Protein backbone atom coordinates (compact mmCIF):
# COMPACT_ATOMS: atom_id res chain seq x y z
CA UNK A 1 0.00 0.00 0.00
CA UNK A 2 2.92 2.33 0.68
CA UNK A 3 4.87 2.66 -2.53
CA UNK A 4 2.06 4.12 -4.62
CA UNK A 5 2.28 7.17 -2.33
CA UNK A 6 5.96 7.71 -3.12
CA UNK A 7 5.51 10.95 -5.04
CA UNK A 8 2.77 12.43 -2.92
CA UNK A 9 3.10 15.96 -1.49
CA UNK A 10 1.41 16.38 1.87
CA UNK A 11 -0.84 19.42 2.17
CA UNK A 12 -2.78 20.54 5.18
CA UNK A 13 -6.47 21.26 4.61
CA UNK A 14 -7.52 24.86 4.21
CA UNK A 15 -8.72 26.72 7.22
CA UNK A 16 -7.29 27.71 10.56
CA UNK A 17 -5.54 24.91 12.43
CA UNK A 18 -5.94 25.25 16.19
CA UNK A 19 -3.44 22.50 16.98
CA UNK A 20 0.13 21.88 15.88
CA UNK A 21 -0.19 19.41 12.97
CA UNK A 22 2.83 17.44 14.22
CA UNK A 23 0.85 16.59 17.34
CA UNK A 24 -1.87 14.98 15.26
CA UNK A 25 0.67 13.00 13.28
CA UNK A 26 2.06 11.53 16.51
CA UNK A 27 -1.23 9.68 17.00
CA UNK A 28 -0.53 7.64 13.86
CA UNK A 29 1.62 4.47 13.89
CA UNK A 30 2.00 3.18 10.32
CA UNK A 31 2.97 -0.38 9.48
CA UNK A 32 6.48 -1.04 8.19
CA UNK A 33 6.71 -4.31 6.22
CA UNK A 34 10.25 -5.33 5.42
CA UNK A 35 10.59 -6.14 1.75
CA UNK A 36 7.59 -3.99 0.88
CA UNK A 37 7.81 -0.64 2.62
CA UNK A 38 10.64 1.54 1.33
CA UNK A 39 12.86 3.37 3.84
CA UNK A 40 12.31 6.56 1.84
CA UNK A 41 8.55 6.30 2.33
CA UNK A 42 9.01 5.68 6.05
CA UNK A 43 11.28 8.73 6.32
CA UNK A 44 8.56 10.88 4.75
CA UNK A 45 6.25 9.63 7.47
CA UNK A 46 8.86 10.54 10.09
CA UNK A 47 9.02 14.01 8.55
CA UNK A 48 5.23 14.20 8.84
CA UNK A 49 5.70 13.53 12.56
CA UNK A 50 4.26 10.06 13.19
CA UNK A 51 4.66 8.76 16.73
CA UNK A 52 6.13 5.42 15.75
CA UNK A 53 5.80 2.33 13.57
CA UNK A 54 4.65 -1.25 13.77
CA UNK A 55 7.30 -3.55 12.27
CA UNK A 56 6.53 -6.75 10.35
CA UNK A 57 9.20 -9.21 9.24
CA UNK A 58 12.82 -8.48 8.40
CA UNK A 59 16.18 -9.94 9.33
CA UNK A 60 17.75 -9.12 12.67
CA UNK A 61 20.41 -6.78 11.27
CA UNK A 62 18.03 -4.87 9.00
CA UNK A 63 15.42 -4.45 11.75
CA UNK A 64 18.05 -2.89 14.00
CA UNK A 65 19.37 -0.68 11.19
CA UNK A 66 15.95 0.63 10.10
CA UNK A 67 15.04 1.33 13.70
CA UNK A 68 18.20 3.39 14.11
CA UNK A 69 17.64 5.24 10.83
CA UNK A 70 14.07 6.21 11.63
CA UNK A 71 14.86 7.28 15.19
CA UNK A 72 17.77 9.44 14.06
CA UNK A 73 15.51 11.29 11.62
CA UNK A 74 12.67 11.94 14.07
CA UNK A 75 12.20 15.20 15.95
CA UNK A 76 10.35 13.32 18.72
CA UNK A 77 11.19 9.98 20.39
CA UNK A 78 9.78 7.26 18.13
CA UNK A 79 8.17 4.18 19.64
CA UNK A 80 8.64 1.01 17.57
CA UNK A 81 6.07 -1.76 18.11
CA UNK A 82 5.68 -5.28 16.80
CA UNK A 83 3.49 -8.38 17.23
CA UNK A 84 6.18 -10.52 18.87
CA UNK A 85 3.59 -12.73 20.57
CA UNK A 86 5.87 -15.77 20.36
CA UNK A 87 9.19 -14.00 20.61
CA UNK A 88 10.96 -11.83 18.08
CA UNK A 89 11.71 -14.90 15.97
CA UNK A 90 8.04 -15.20 15.09
CA UNK A 91 8.63 -12.32 12.68
CA UNK A 92 12.38 -11.71 12.50
CA UNK A 93 14.84 -14.02 10.78
CA UNK A 94 17.76 -14.71 13.06
CA UNK A 95 15.86 -14.12 16.33
CA UNK A 96 14.44 -16.68 18.78
CA UNK A 97 10.94 -18.01 18.22
CA UNK A 98 9.27 -19.12 21.45
CA UNK A 99 6.40 -21.48 22.36
CA UNK A 100 2.82 -20.42 21.83
CA UNK A 101 0.81 -19.07 24.73
CA UNK A 102 -1.28 -22.23 24.76
CA UNK A 103 1.85 -24.33 25.21
CA UNK A 104 2.69 -22.19 28.24
CA UNK A 105 -0.93 -22.52 29.34
CA UNK A 106 -0.65 -26.31 29.24
CA UNK A 107 2.37 -26.15 31.54
CA UNK A 108 0.56 -23.90 33.98
CA UNK A 109 3.97 -22.47 34.85
CA UNK A 110 4.33 -18.83 35.81
CA UNK A 111 8.11 -19.27 35.60
CA UNK A 112 7.88 -20.24 31.92
CA UNK A 113 5.45 -17.41 31.19
CA UNK A 114 7.73 -14.89 32.87
CA UNK A 115 10.80 -16.19 31.07
CA UNK A 116 8.99 -16.01 27.75
CA UNK A 117 8.30 -12.34 28.45
CA UNK A 118 11.89 -11.67 29.47
CA UNK A 119 13.44 -13.28 26.37
CA UNK A 120 10.98 -11.52 24.08
CA UNK A 121 11.73 -8.15 25.66
CA UNK A 122 15.51 -8.60 25.62
CA UNK A 123 15.62 -9.51 21.95
CA UNK A 124 13.08 -6.86 20.97
CA UNK A 125 15.08 -4.15 22.70
CA UNK A 126 18.31 -5.37 21.09
CA UNK A 127 16.58 -5.10 17.70
CA UNK A 128 15.41 -1.56 18.42
CA UNK A 129 11.78 -2.51 19.13
CA UNK A 130 10.26 -0.95 22.26
CA UNK A 131 6.72 -2.19 22.33
CA UNK A 132 5.58 -5.82 22.28
CA UNK A 133 1.94 -6.02 21.23
CA UNK A 134 1.31 -8.92 23.59
CA UNK A 135 0.05 -10.79 25.53
CA UNK A 136 -3.16 -12.04 23.98
CA UNK A 137 -5.64 -12.47 26.84
CA UNK A 138 -8.59 -13.65 24.76
CA UNK A 139 -10.05 -16.94 25.99
CA UNK A 140 -9.83 -20.00 23.71
CA UNK A 141 -13.38 -21.03 24.46
CA UNK A 142 -14.51 -21.73 20.90
CA UNK A 143 -12.94 -24.47 18.73
CA UNK A 144 -14.02 -22.83 15.47
CA UNK A 145 -12.43 -19.47 16.27
CA UNK A 146 -10.12 -19.01 13.27
CA UNK A 147 -7.65 -16.52 14.71
CA UNK A 148 -7.30 -16.89 18.53
CA UNK A 149 -6.77 -20.60 19.29
CA UNK A 150 -3.15 -21.28 20.38
CA UNK A 151 -2.47 -17.53 20.69
CA UNK A 152 -4.49 -17.76 23.93
CA UNK A 153 -3.19 -19.28 27.15
CA UNK A 154 -6.34 -21.36 27.40
CA UNK A 155 -10.08 -21.27 28.00
CA UNK A 156 -9.91 -20.36 31.68
CA UNK A 157 -10.04 -16.76 32.88
CA UNK A 158 -8.00 -17.46 36.02
CA UNK A 159 -5.27 -19.38 34.18
CA UNK A 160 -5.08 -16.62 31.59
CA UNK A 161 -4.87 -13.86 34.19
CA UNK A 162 -2.19 -15.68 36.18
CA UNK A 163 0.09 -16.55 33.25
CA UNK A 164 -0.44 -13.28 31.38
CA UNK A 165 0.45 -11.47 34.59
CA UNK A 166 3.72 -13.41 34.84
CA UNK A 167 4.46 -12.61 31.18
CA UNK A 168 3.87 -8.90 31.85
CA UNK A 169 6.35 -9.07 34.73
CA UNK A 170 9.00 -10.52 32.42
CA UNK A 171 8.47 -7.90 29.73
CA UNK A 172 8.51 -5.01 32.18
CA UNK A 173 11.60 -6.28 34.01
CA UNK A 174 13.60 -6.11 30.77
CA UNK A 175 12.49 -2.62 29.83
CA UNK A 176 9.95 -3.19 27.05
CA UNK A 177 6.32 -2.07 26.78
CA UNK A 178 3.38 -4.50 26.77
CA UNK A 179 -0.18 -4.61 25.46
CA UNK A 180 -3.28 -6.58 26.46
CA UNK A 181 -5.41 -7.61 23.50
CA UNK A 182 -8.08 -7.75 22.09
CA UNK A 183 -10.55 -5.84 24.29
CA UNK A 184 -13.26 -6.76 25.28
CA UNK A 185 -12.34 -10.35 24.33
CA UNK A 186 -12.10 -12.02 20.92
CA UNK A 187 -12.43 -15.64 22.04
CA UNK A 188 -16.12 -16.35 21.51
CA UNK A 189 -16.19 -15.39 17.82
CA UNK A 190 -16.06 -17.45 14.62
CA UNK A 191 -14.80 -14.82 12.13
CA UNK A 192 -11.26 -13.62 11.43
CA UNK A 193 -11.26 -9.82 11.75
CA UNK A 194 -8.57 -9.66 9.07
CA UNK A 195 -11.33 -10.76 6.67
CA UNK A 196 -14.61 -9.45 8.10
CA UNK A 197 -16.14 -8.00 11.25
CA UNK A 198 -16.74 -10.66 13.94
CA UNK A 199 -19.65 -10.46 16.33
CA UNK A 200 -19.57 -11.33 20.02
CA UNK A 201 -22.96 -12.54 21.21
CA UNK A 202 -22.43 -12.10 24.94
CA UNK A 203 -24.10 -9.61 27.25
CA UNK A 204 -22.30 -7.55 29.86
CA UNK A 205 -22.93 -10.03 32.67
CA UNK A 206 -21.45 -12.88 30.62
CA UNK A 207 -18.47 -10.74 29.63
CA UNK A 208 -17.85 -9.78 33.25
CA UNK A 209 -17.89 -13.43 34.29
CA UNK A 210 -15.28 -14.52 31.74
CA UNK A 211 -13.82 -12.42 28.91
CA UNK A 212 -13.28 -9.21 30.87
CA UNK A 213 -11.62 -10.86 33.87
CA UNK A 214 -8.04 -10.84 32.49
CA UNK A 215 -8.42 -7.22 31.40
CA UNK A 216 -9.81 -6.07 34.73
CA UNK A 217 -7.13 -8.03 36.61
CA UNK A 218 -4.17 -6.85 34.54
CA UNK A 219 -4.98 -3.55 32.82
CA UNK A 220 -3.26 -1.41 35.44
CA UNK A 221 -0.10 -3.51 35.15
CA UNK A 222 0.03 -3.35 31.36
CA UNK A 223 1.34 -0.42 29.36
CA UNK A 224 -1.55 -0.41 26.90
CA UNK A 225 -4.77 -2.10 25.88
CA UNK A 226 -5.67 -2.88 22.27
CA UNK A 227 -9.32 -2.47 21.28
CA UNK A 228 -10.45 -5.28 18.99
CA UNK A 229 -12.30 -5.04 15.72
CA UNK A 230 -15.43 -6.90 16.81
CA UNK A 231 -19.04 -5.95 17.20
CA UNK A 232 -20.70 -6.47 20.58
CA UNK A 233 -24.40 -5.72 20.02
CA UNK A 234 -25.23 -5.94 23.73
CA UNK A 235 -22.86 -3.01 24.38
CA UNK A 236 -23.06 -1.04 21.11
CA UNK A 237 -25.49 -1.86 18.35
CA UNK A 238 -23.65 0.00 15.60
CA UNK A 239 -19.90 0.45 16.06
CA UNK A 240 -17.19 -2.20 16.58
CA UNK A 241 -15.31 -2.08 19.87
CA UNK A 242 -12.35 -0.25 18.35
CA UNK A 243 -14.61 2.62 17.24
CA UNK A 244 -17.09 2.56 20.11
CA UNK A 245 -17.33 5.23 22.79
CA UNK A 246 -19.60 2.94 24.80
CA UNK A 247 -16.94 0.20 24.86
CA UNK A 248 -13.69 2.21 25.07
CA UNK A 249 -14.92 5.25 26.94
CA UNK A 250 -17.73 3.63 28.89
CA UNK A 251 -16.70 0.06 29.63
CA UNK A 252 -12.90 0.20 29.60
CA UNK A 253 -12.24 3.68 30.95
CA UNK A 254 -15.22 4.29 33.24
CA UNK A 255 -16.44 0.89 34.42
CA UNK A 256 -13.02 -0.81 34.56
CA UNK A 257 -11.26 2.39 35.59
CA UNK A 258 -8.46 2.13 33.02
CA UNK A 259 -6.61 5.41 32.49
CA UNK A 260 -3.70 4.20 30.35
CA UNK A 261 -3.08 4.18 26.64
CA UNK A 262 -5.60 2.55 24.29
CA UNK A 263 -4.63 1.66 20.74
CA UNK A 264 -6.69 0.27 17.92
CA UNK A 265 -6.03 -3.01 16.24
CA UNK A 266 -4.59 -2.49 12.74
CA UNK A 267 -6.89 -0.15 10.83
CA UNK A 268 -6.01 -1.81 7.51
CA UNK A 269 -7.85 -4.99 8.53
CA UNK A 270 -10.96 -5.71 6.50
CA UNK A 271 -13.17 -5.61 9.59
CA UNK A 272 -12.92 -1.80 9.57
CA UNK A 273 -10.91 -0.66 6.54
CA UNK A 274 -14.11 0.00 4.60
CA UNK A 275 -15.41 2.16 7.43
CA UNK A 276 -15.22 5.79 6.36
CA UNK A 277 -13.20 7.90 8.79
CA UNK A 278 -12.39 4.93 11.02
CA UNK A 279 -9.37 6.65 12.52
CA UNK A 280 -11.33 9.74 13.51
CA UNK A 281 -14.11 7.57 14.95
CA UNK A 282 -11.58 5.60 17.01
CA UNK A 283 -10.10 8.82 18.41
CA UNK A 284 -13.56 10.14 19.27
CA UNK A 285 -14.35 6.83 20.97
CA UNK A 286 -11.38 7.22 23.31
CA UNK A 287 -8.46 5.56 21.51
CA UNK A 288 -5.09 7.30 21.84
CA UNK A 289 -3.14 5.64 19.06
CA UNK A 290 -4.18 4.71 15.52
CA UNK A 291 -2.35 1.61 14.36
CA UNK A 292 -1.49 0.67 10.77
CA UNK A 293 -3.93 2.72 8.69
CA UNK A 294 -4.23 1.86 5.00
CA UNK A 295 -2.85 5.29 4.08
CA UNK A 296 -1.27 7.29 6.91
CA UNK A 297 -1.28 10.51 4.88
CA UNK A 298 -5.02 10.25 4.21
CA UNK A 299 -5.63 9.58 7.90
CA UNK A 300 -3.57 12.64 8.79
CA UNK A 301 -5.70 14.77 6.45
CA UNK A 302 -8.88 13.36 8.05
CA UNK A 303 -7.59 14.20 11.54
CA UNK A 304 -6.71 17.72 10.45
CA UNK A 305 -10.18 18.22 9.03
CA UNK A 306 -11.80 16.85 12.19
CA UNK A 307 -9.81 19.21 14.40
CA UNK A 308 -10.39 22.25 12.17
CA UNK A 309 -14.13 21.58 12.11
CA UNK A 310 -14.29 21.11 15.88
CA UNK A 311 -15.21 17.45 15.69
CA UNK A 312 -12.04 16.39 17.52
CA UNK A 313 -11.12 18.59 20.47
CA UNK A 314 -7.56 19.70 21.13
CA UNK A 315 -7.87 18.52 24.75
CA UNK A 316 -8.49 14.93 23.57
CA UNK A 317 -5.37 15.04 21.40
CA UNK A 318 -3.27 16.46 24.22
CA UNK A 319 -4.50 13.73 26.60
CA UNK A 320 -3.66 11.01 24.08
CA UNK A 321 -0.17 12.47 23.63
CA UNK A 322 0.31 12.71 27.39
CA UNK A 323 -0.35 8.98 27.66
CA UNK A 324 2.12 8.32 24.88
CA UNK A 325 4.71 10.54 26.57
CA UNK A 326 4.37 8.54 29.79
CA UNK A 327 5.49 5.45 27.89
CA UNK A 328 8.38 7.34 26.32
CA UNK A 329 9.54 8.41 29.78
CA UNK A 330 9.22 4.87 31.10
CA UNK A 331 11.57 3.67 28.37
CA UNK A 332 14.15 6.44 28.80
CA UNK A 333 16.38 4.67 31.35
CA UNK A 334 16.56 1.55 29.17
CA UNK A 335 17.53 3.44 26.02
CA UNK A 336 20.79 4.55 27.60
CA UNK A 337 22.16 0.99 27.55
CA UNK A 338 20.01 -1.38 25.44
CA UNK A 339 20.74 -5.13 25.53
CA UNK A 340 23.74 -6.27 23.51
CA UNK A 341 22.82 -7.38 20.01
CA UNK A 342 24.45 -10.77 20.56
CA UNK A 343 21.61 -11.73 22.93
CA UNK A 344 19.44 -12.23 19.83
CA UNK A 345 19.05 -15.97 19.29
CA UNK A 346 21.80 -16.66 21.81
CA UNK A 347 22.33 -20.22 23.15
CA UNK A 348 20.64 -19.36 26.45
CA UNK A 349 17.48 -18.22 24.70
CA UNK A 350 17.43 -21.18 22.34
CA UNK A 351 17.86 -23.54 25.29
CA UNK A 352 14.61 -22.26 26.81
CA UNK A 353 12.54 -24.11 24.22
CA UNK A 354 14.17 -27.47 24.90
CA UNK A 355 13.83 -26.98 28.65
CA UNK A 356 10.19 -25.90 28.44
CA UNK A 357 8.91 -28.45 25.93
CA UNK A 358 8.31 -31.51 28.18
CA UNK A 359 6.38 -29.36 30.66
CA UNK A 360 4.12 -28.08 27.88
CA UNK A 361 3.19 -31.36 26.17
CA UNK A 362 -0.28 -32.65 27.06
CA UNK A 363 -2.17 -35.82 26.21
CA UNK A 364 -5.59 -35.36 24.62
CA UNK A 365 -6.29 -39.10 24.84
CA UNK A 366 -4.42 -42.39 25.25
CA UNK A 367 -1.88 -41.25 27.79
CA UNK A 368 0.14 -44.21 29.09
CA UNK A 369 -1.81 -46.77 27.02
CA UNK A 370 0.19 -45.91 23.90
CA UNK A 371 3.93 -46.33 23.53
CA UNK A 372 6.20 -46.69 20.54
CA UNK A 373 8.90 -49.30 20.96
CA UNK A 374 12.48 -49.13 19.63
CA UNK A 375 12.94 -51.50 16.71
CA UNK A 376 9.36 -51.38 15.44
CA UNK A 377 8.32 -49.91 12.10
CA UNK A 378 5.84 -47.05 12.14
CA UNK A 379 4.20 -45.20 9.29
CA UNK A 380 4.39 -41.43 9.39
CA UNK A 381 1.65 -39.33 7.80
CA UNK A 382 0.62 -35.69 7.42
CA UNK A 383 -2.85 -35.09 5.90
CA UNK A 384 -2.76 -34.14 2.20
CA UNK A 385 1.01 -33.62 2.41
CA UNK A 386 3.56 -35.39 0.19
CA UNK A 387 6.71 -36.73 1.80
CA UNK A 388 8.77 -33.96 0.21
CA UNK A 389 6.69 -31.32 2.03
CA UNK A 390 6.53 -32.88 5.50
CA UNK A 391 6.69 -30.25 8.24
CA UNK A 392 7.63 -32.80 10.89
CA UNK A 393 11.22 -33.44 9.83
CA UNK A 394 12.60 -32.93 13.35
CA UNK A 395 9.88 -35.19 14.78
CA UNK A 396 10.62 -38.00 12.31
CA UNK A 397 14.38 -37.65 12.79
CA UNK A 398 14.02 -37.92 16.56
CA UNK A 399 11.84 -41.03 16.27
CA UNK A 400 14.57 -42.60 14.14
CA UNK A 401 17.24 -41.54 16.62
CA UNK A 402 15.25 -43.28 19.35
CA UNK A 403 15.45 -46.54 17.44
CA UNK A 404 12.24 -46.68 15.41
CA UNK A 405 12.10 -47.43 11.72
CA UNK A 406 10.00 -44.66 10.18
CA UNK A 407 8.50 -45.05 6.73
CA UNK A 408 5.78 -43.19 4.84
CA UNK A 409 2.45 -44.58 6.00
CA UNK A 410 0.68 -47.08 3.76
CA UNK A 411 -2.88 -48.07 4.82
CA UNK A 412 -3.74 -51.73 5.16
CA UNK A 413 -0.23 -53.00 5.92
CA UNK A 414 -0.77 -53.42 9.65
CA UNK A 415 1.50 -50.46 10.37
CA UNK A 416 1.16 -48.37 13.47
CA UNK A 417 0.22 -44.88 12.34
CA UNK A 418 2.02 -41.81 13.63
CA UNK A 419 0.40 -38.65 12.25
CA UNK A 420 1.69 -35.13 12.64
CA UNK A 421 -0.86 -32.36 12.19
CA UNK A 422 0.29 -28.75 11.82
CA UNK A 423 -2.30 -26.01 12.08
CA UNK A 424 -1.93 -22.54 13.50
CA UNK A 425 -3.44 -19.06 13.28
CA UNK A 426 -2.57 -17.16 10.15
CA UNK A 427 -4.08 -13.78 9.38
CA UNK A 428 -6.57 -13.91 6.55
CA UNK A 429 -6.69 -17.70 6.37
CA UNK A 430 -10.26 -17.92 7.63
CA UNK A 431 -9.72 -21.23 9.42
CA UNK A 432 -7.26 -22.99 11.67
CA UNK A 433 -8.38 -26.57 12.19
CA UNK A 434 -8.46 -29.38 9.66
CA UNK A 435 -10.25 -28.63 6.40
CA UNK A 436 -12.91 -31.05 5.25
CA UNK A 437 -10.45 -32.62 2.82
CA UNK A 438 -7.67 -32.91 5.42
CA UNK A 439 -10.06 -34.47 7.92
CA UNK A 440 -11.23 -37.02 5.35
CA UNK A 441 -7.63 -37.92 4.51
CA UNK A 442 -6.76 -38.35 8.20
CA UNK A 443 -9.84 -40.44 8.91
CA UNK A 444 -9.03 -42.70 5.97
CA UNK A 445 -5.57 -43.24 7.42
CA UNK A 446 -6.99 -44.01 10.88
CA UNK A 447 -9.28 -46.68 9.47
CA UNK A 448 -6.38 -48.50 7.85
CA UNK A 449 -4.07 -48.45 10.87
CA UNK A 450 -3.34 -51.22 13.36
CA UNK A 451 -3.11 -48.54 16.05
CA UNK A 452 -2.59 -44.81 15.79
CA UNK A 453 -1.40 -41.66 17.45
CA UNK A 454 -2.06 -38.11 16.29
CA UNK A 455 0.38 -35.44 17.44
CA UNK A 456 -0.99 -31.90 17.17
CA UNK A 457 1.79 -29.39 16.52
CA UNK A 458 -0.66 -26.50 16.65
CA UNK A 459 -4.38 -26.37 17.36
CA UNK A 460 -5.57 -29.02 19.85
CA UNK A 461 -9.05 -28.74 18.36
CA UNK A 462 -8.05 -30.84 15.35
CA UNK A 463 -9.21 -33.85 17.41
CA UNK A 464 -12.79 -32.57 17.53
CA UNK A 465 -15.27 -34.11 15.14
CA UNK A 466 -13.14 -37.03 13.90
CA UNK A 467 -15.33 -39.96 12.90
CA UNK A 468 -12.67 -42.36 14.18
CA UNK A 469 -10.90 -42.05 17.51
CA UNK A 470 -7.11 -42.48 17.44
CA UNK A 471 -5.46 -44.79 19.95
CA UNK A 472 -3.73 -41.76 21.41
CA UNK A 473 -3.47 -38.03 20.92
CA UNK A 474 -0.65 -35.75 22.03
CA UNK A 475 -0.67 -31.95 21.92
CA UNK A 476 2.48 -29.86 21.51
CA UNK A 477 0.64 -26.57 20.70
CA UNK A 478 3.46 -25.35 18.44
CA UNK A 479 5.79 -26.69 15.74
CA UNK A 480 9.15 -25.61 17.17
CA UNK A 481 11.82 -28.24 16.52
CA UNK A 482 12.51 -28.69 20.22
CA UNK A 483 8.82 -29.40 20.74
CA UNK A 484 8.83 -31.91 17.87
CA UNK A 485 11.77 -33.73 19.44
CA UNK A 486 10.15 -33.68 22.88
CA UNK A 487 6.91 -35.08 21.41
CA UNK A 488 8.84 -37.98 19.86
CA UNK A 489 10.45 -38.72 23.20
CA UNK A 490 7.07 -38.60 24.96
CA UNK A 491 5.64 -41.15 22.53
CA UNK A 492 8.44 -43.56 23.40
CA UNK A 493 8.24 -42.90 27.14
CA UNK A 494 11.67 -41.25 27.23
CA UNK A 495 10.16 -38.11 28.81
CA UNK A 496 6.95 -37.39 30.66
CA UNK A 497 4.39 -35.13 29.00
CA UNK A 498 3.97 -32.85 31.98
CA UNK A 499 1.25 -30.52 30.74
CA UNK A 500 -2.52 -30.51 31.01
CA UNK A 501 -4.93 -29.46 28.29
CA UNK A 502 -5.88 -25.81 28.99
CA UNK A 503 -8.95 -26.06 26.72
CA UNK A 504 -11.86 -28.46 26.36
CA UNK A 505 -11.24 -30.89 23.51
CA UNK A 506 -13.71 -33.56 22.45
CA UNK A 507 -11.68 -36.32 20.83
CA UNK A 508 -13.42 -38.27 18.03
CA UNK A 509 -15.84 -41.13 18.59
What is the spatial order of strands in the sheet that 472-475 belongs to?
362-365, 472-475, 452-456, 416-421, 377-381, 405-408
**pLDDT single digits (tens) 206-229:** 999 999 999 999 999 999 999 999
Which of these is catalytic: 182, 186, 194, 229? 194
Strands of 31-33's sheet in order across: 31-33, 52-56, 79-82, 131-132
Q: Which residue in the list 188, 265, 288, 441 is annotated as catalytic?
A: 265
User: Is 194 a residue of the active site?
Assistant: yes
Where are the CATH 3.20.20.300 domain residues in the chain? 25-343
Q: Flag whether pLDDT at 275 surpasses 70.
A: no
Please state which CATH number belongs to domain 361-491. Answer: 3.40.50
Question: Mean pLDDT, to the nearest integer, of 389-403?
Answer: 97
Burial of 304 from C-beta contacts in 10 A (0-12 / 13-18 / 19+)? buried
Mean of pLDDT values over 104-108? 98
**Structure confidence by residue, pLDDT tens digits, 279-322:** 999 999 999 999 999 999 999 999 999 999 999 999 999 999 99
Q: Which CATH class is domain 25-343?
A: alpha beta
Query: Which residues are CB-neighbours of 490 under 8 A, at least 6 positions away?
Result: 358, 361, 474, 496, 497
User: What's the whole-model pTM score?
Assistant: 0.94
Q: Please list the residue range(s) of the chain that carry CATH number 3.40.50.
A: 361-491
pLDDT classification of 145: cutoffs 50, 70, 90: confident
List strands edge to edge, sheet with 224-227.
180-183, 224-227, 261-264
pLDDT of 259 higher than 60? yes
pLDDT at residue 3 tops 50 = no
pLDDT at 159: 98
At 4-51, the pLDDT tens digits run 444 444 444 444 556 889 899 999 999 999 999 999 999 999 999 999
Chain mean pLDDT for the chain: 92
Alpha-carbon distance of 64 to 34, in angstroms, equals: 12
Is 188 one of the annotated active-site residues of the chain? no
pLDDT of residue 411: 82
Amino acid sequence: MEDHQAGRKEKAPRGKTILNPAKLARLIYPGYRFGKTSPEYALRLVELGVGGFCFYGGGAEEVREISRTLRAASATPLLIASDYENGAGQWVKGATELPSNMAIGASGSEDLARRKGEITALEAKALGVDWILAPVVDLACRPDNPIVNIRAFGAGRDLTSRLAGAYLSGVSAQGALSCLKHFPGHGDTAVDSHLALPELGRDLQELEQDDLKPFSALARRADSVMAGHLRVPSLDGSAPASLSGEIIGGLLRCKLGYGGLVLTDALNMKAVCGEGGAGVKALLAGADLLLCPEDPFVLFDELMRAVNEGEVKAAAVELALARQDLLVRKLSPYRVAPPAFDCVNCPEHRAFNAEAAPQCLAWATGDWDFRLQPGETVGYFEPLTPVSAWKGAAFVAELARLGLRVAPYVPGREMRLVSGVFSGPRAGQGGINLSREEKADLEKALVGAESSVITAFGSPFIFSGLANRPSAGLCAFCALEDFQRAAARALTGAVLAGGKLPVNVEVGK
